[in-house]
A and B are shown apart, each in its own frame.
Chain A
């Protein structure tokens, strides 16, 4: 086969169709990848900007809950208020998180929603308190890891 005939068979309209299709598939994949990265970046920077304050507030809520547990029966309305405050902070954090941390926060939110603040329910409130403390510790560690990511 001589060169002109090879070039002729290569520069057919079908060949350009195939190349065009391959490029559009590749650019679609790249767009998805870029979109995914932008989402991740937005979450990371959202957490960097607001994370420390939210984690501090959540830690303060846990600390207040612990104080109310010194005399649980006398502080039922305050416990309800504090749980609502903690839930609001957790919801805000959930939007900025992904993966395991998001699941962890979601689970605590479910626990708070299911927790009825009554005299008989001290044990459940205590469990929620411990879960909040664990989330705070986990998020503090995550925040430290985040500082090393570019």
Chain B
């Protein structure tokens, strides 16, 4: 299981390296309509797309609403046990709240997400690297430093 997950981390880390080395160019696009069908629950502002070995890939960050989980008798006893044993009480969250998740998808020919990469922190780092590239932060920094010197 761990080695399977590591394989995905290695793959995304490779995409990250290619992005940071400017060998993989990403383009910003408006999100397809189906990603914002339930905009009161989930929102996507912009998506980034590229091709790796002719395969289209899409990366985006989705902001989604987290509702209070329903409690059945089983989960109640479980949460009681988890929260109280050892005195490590978890703080009560204010529901609903909004959370962010980075999604990397392989696209089919019609532009629909055919397959989604498993969640891991490296996806957030890839998203940062892509926005860094698309916003031209490196060039901007170089310009500022050139003026300053």
Contacts and interface: CB of A to CB of B under 8 A. Distances in A.
Contacts of B81: 150
A59 B137 CA distance: 23
B47 interface: no
Interface in A124-150: 126, 129-130, 133-134, 136-138, 141, 147, 150
Nearest to B120: A137
B141 interface: yes
A104 to B, nearest CB: 9
A48 B86 CA distance: 9
Contacts of A74: 141
A70 B9 contact: no
Interface in B47-96: 81-82, 85-86, 88
A140 to B, nearest CB: 9
B121 A69 contact: no
* Interface majority SS (helix, strand, loop, mixed), chain B: helix
A49 to B, nearest CB: 6
A79 B16 CA distance: 17
A49 B125 contact: no
B39 interface: no
Nearest to A126: B17
A47 B50 CA distance: 41
B117 interface: no
A133 B5 CA distance: 11
B138 to A, nearest CB: 6
Nearest to B3: A134
B86 A133 contact: no
* Interface majority SS (helix, strand, loop, mixed), chain A: helix
B147 interface: no
A66 B120 contact: no
A66 B88 contact: no
B115 interface: no
A136 B121 contact: yes
A63 to B, nearest CB: 6
Contacts of A71: 138, 141
Interface string A55-99: 000010011001101110010000000000000000000000000
Contact of A70 (B10, B86, B122, B137): B137
A48 B88 contact: yes
Interface of B: 2, 5-6, 9-10, 13, 16-17, 20, 81-82, 85-86, 88, 120-122, 124-125, 128-129, 132, 137-138, 141
